[in-house]
Amino acid sequence: MACDWREAGLRYFRQSHFFRRRFGHRVHKVSVDAGFDCPNRDGTLGQGGCLFCNPASFSPSRRREAGPISHQIRTAAGLLRERFRAERFIAYFQPATNTYSPVARLRAVFVEALAQPDVVGLAVGTRPDCVSDEAIDLLAELARRTWVSLELGLQSIHERSLRWLRRGHGYEGFAELVGRCRERGVYVGAHVILGLPGESADDMNATADELARLRVDSVKLHQLYAVRETPLAEMVAAGQVTLLEQDQYVAHVVDFLERLPAECVIERLCGDAPAEYLVAPAWSADKRAVVAAVEAEFARRDTWQGKALADRKETS
């Protein structure tokens, strides 16, 4: 299955293709909010969060009362069935840090989500410094009876970038955690931001190369964008940070994907935010146009995910 996306005429391994092959149905993620906090916001590591972070801009549940997990899934699933003809669902614990709680609490909310009708898997978004061995064991246990993904907010392998973002963690902890997860058979995804100040094309490609070396199972890409009520928005307004233009971002995305293994699932090509929160860049408001531009750039170059990686192996 690793490369059948090429046979389907695709230039990269889309998550939708992976889900269709894995489950045999049209599968969509359903955002679930268990009410967890983040150590970078509750005072453990910091109180303001990361430079770009406004939780309300990331998830509707942080803009209104979320309600019980069963209600969240039932409501969102109904909308996805109507809009996208979705048939099955992944319960995606998205807002905040979803392993930042005692394991008994994690077990309770994960099991509740998996018990809902037509939920065929679990995705857990978290930080690489907040995943205990006990949490990995729980995920490995659940993975023996359903599909489970641990999504780690990495953003960059470069320590200077992580410090600038005020992440509160380093790269080595991420790499070590990926190894621990692999030992237990837990599927691991990485979130990456392209366009960080001070990062060259070579720097961004180095992040891709390292993710390829670690053999992460999936990657989710985001452009650096600013939402209101964040330090980043203030820096953009003051002219202290310059954000990428769309054509620059598109080129970096294709460069990045060329360096990833063909079997790495691409969960997202770009990020977005509600119009009432987005500050800049303006092109972030049209996610479909960005995706179309990436696909057009793949076609213009006549390239595909993994090509640069394969070319390097052939010449080494």
Q: What is the mean pLDDT of residues 194-201?
A: 98
Task: Supply the mean pLDDT for the chain.
Answer: 94
Report if residue 237 sits inside a domain: no
**Residue 169 located in a structural domain:** yes
Residues whose CB is less than 8 angstroms from the CB of residue 99 and which lie 6 or more positions away in sequence, other chains included? 106, 124, 126, 130, 131, 132, 135
**Residue 316 above 80 pLDDT?**
no
Q: Say yes or no to pLDDT of 214 above 90.
A: yes
> pLDDT at position 4, please?
87
Q: Which of 180, 175, 127, 120 is nearest to 151 (CA)?
A: 127
For the segment 47-51, the average pLDDT, to the nearest whole number, is: 89
- Mean pLDDT on 196-216: 98
Evaluate whether residue 75 is within a structural domain. yes
How does strand 88-93 pair with strand 27-32? parallel
- Per-residue pLDDT tens for 260-279? 999 999 999 999 999 999 99
Confidence class for position 60, pLDDT limits 50, 70, 90? low
Handedness of CA 272, 114, 12, 205 (dihedral sign): positive
Residue 313 predicted with pLDDT over 90? no
pLDDT reading at 58 higher than 80 = no
Domain count, the chain: 1
**Is 234 part of any domain?**
no
List CB contacts of 244: < 8 A, sequence separation 6 or more: 194, 195, 223, 224, 252, 281
Sign of CA pseudo-dihedral 265, 225, 122, 120: negative
31 assigned to some structural domain: yes
Distances (CA, A) of 167 to 3, 46, 162, 219, 234: 34, 9, 5, 19, 18
Q: Whose CA is closest to 38, among 55, 63, 25?
A: 55
Give the residue numbers spanning the domain of 248.
Answer: 4-225+242-272+286-315
Cβ atoms < 10 Å from Cβ of 173: 16
CATH number at residue 131: 3.20.20.70
- Please report whether residue 280 resides in a domain: no
CA-based nearest residue to 72, from 59, 82, 84:
59
Query: Tens digit of pLDDT for each residue in 133-184?
Result: 999 999 999 999 999 999 999 999 999 999 999 999 999 999 999 999 999 9
pLDDT at 32: 95
> Does a structural domain hold residue 310?
yes
Instruction: Find out whether 265 and 223 touch, Cβ atoms under 8 Å.
Output: no
- In tens, the pLDDT along 62-90 reads 456 678 999 999 999 999 999 999 999 99
Q: What is the pLDDT of residue 116?
A: 96
Can you tell me the distance from the alpha carbon of 168 to that of 81, in angstroms, rounded to the nearest whole number? 39
Identify the pLDDT of residue 315: 80
